[in-house]
Amino acid sequence: MARLPRFNPTHDGKLAYAVYTSERLTGLLPANEIEPLVAAFNRAVALAAAAAKVAVATRDTAAGFCEAVRTCEPDDVGVLIEQMARAIADAAAHREAADLFAALPADARREILSCIEASEDDLYEGLASQLTDVLDRAKPVVTALRGIPDAEAAIEAKRTDQWTALRDLSREYDEIVSAFRALRAAADDDTAMVRPAFADVLFGGLAAVTTTDVPFDATATASPEHLRYVVENRERLLPRIVRATEATSVLPIVAVPTRRVRGQVVTTSASRG
């Protein structure tokens, strides 16, 4: 995986910062594009550092001429002026060349930034593919753990491998959701900052979940029980990765926004209570 240069959300944009701080998002950048750009950036940094050392040597020669001026004879002034002029011209040329090398990292960094911005669609599509994959892989695990509520029961039923797999898949699922939230936040989507609102974005069918269901915390994406419920009710919940402009268009037409407390659906009487 390419190691990106450090990006700042204020100066470089929120998308670049979100990708920089997420290994999962970084891994979704097109490798054939980003890896050569990162290699070019690293080379530019090395060249700029080497050029800076060369520029230091030109400053040392100036001190030598100051000493020559203090000790020269009148007959030597003309020759000394010619030498100084050549040295000053050389020093200016050195500075110009050094400045050219010093600018290389910034130029290469901008190329990387442009690649990230141009890859935004790839990031959403990549996360959507990963979400589908992790839910597909979780299905047989959840099926094998049906009726097994906890780790102790899994040991008794000789399903410890499946229980461990569920926890691993739950961590992977939470990483995907966290990366999705970071993308939405980078797009200045306010729902990404409020967990209950983000749950409506993550699940296109959340409004269809009824109060007669087993309590489901739609915001607890790091919980294995959350993943288990999502897998078992995937066709109703409709988990998805979508842009802010796409979220409302894929909501079920019959869906009616339902009041929730901490991501859980509550009845009308409970909301008034």
Which sequence spans correspond to the domains of the chain? Answer: 30-114, 120-272
Rounded to 5°, the CA angle 136-134-208 comes to 70
Count of other CB atoms within 10 angstroms of residue 219: 20
Dist. CA 2–CA 31, nearest whole Å: 8
Per-residue pLDDT, 58: 54
Dist. CA 94–CA 54, nearest whole Å: 8
What does each C-alpha distance from 44 to 29, 50, 106, 107, 109 come to in angstroms?
21, 10, 9, 9, 9
What does each C-alpha distance from 189 to 98, 171, 197 come to in angstroms?
43, 24, 10
Contact 189, 244 (CB under 8 A): yes
DSSP string, the chain: ---PPP--HHHH-HHHHHHHT-HHHHHTS-HHHHHHHHHHHHHHHHHHHHHHHHHHHHHHHHHHHHHHHHH--GGGHHHHHHHHHHHHHHHHHHHHHHHHHHTHHHHHHHHHHHHHHHTHHHHHHHHHHHHHHHHHHHHHHHHHTTT--SHHHHHHTT-HHHHHHHHHHHHHHHHHHHHHHHHHHHTT-GGGGSHHHHHHHHBTTGGG--TTSPP--TT-TT-HHHHHHHHHTHHHH-B----HHHHGGGS-TT-----EETTEE--HHHHH-
Is the alpha carbon torsion for 104, 107, 111, 113 positive or negative?
positive
The per-residue pLDDT string of the chain (273 residues; one tens digit each, 9 = 90 and over) reads 789 999 999 999 999 999 999 999 999 999 999 999 999 999 999 999 998 887 555 555 666 677 677 777 777 788 888 887 887 788 788 888 889 999 999 999 999 999 999 999 999 999 999 999 999 999 999 999 999 989 899 999 999 999 999 999 999 999 999 999 999 999 888 777 777 888 889 999 888 775 556 678 888 999 999 999 999 999 999 999 998 777 554 444 333 344 444 445 443 333 333
Dist. CA 97–CA 51, nearest whole Å: 8
How many angstroms separate the most distant Cα atoms in the chain? 105
- pTM comes to 0.77
Which residue in the block uniquely carries the two structure tokens 């909301």?
271
Dist. CA 244–CA 250, nearest whole Å: 11
Rounded to 5°, the CA angle 259-138-216 comes to 20
Per-residue pLDDT, 83: 80
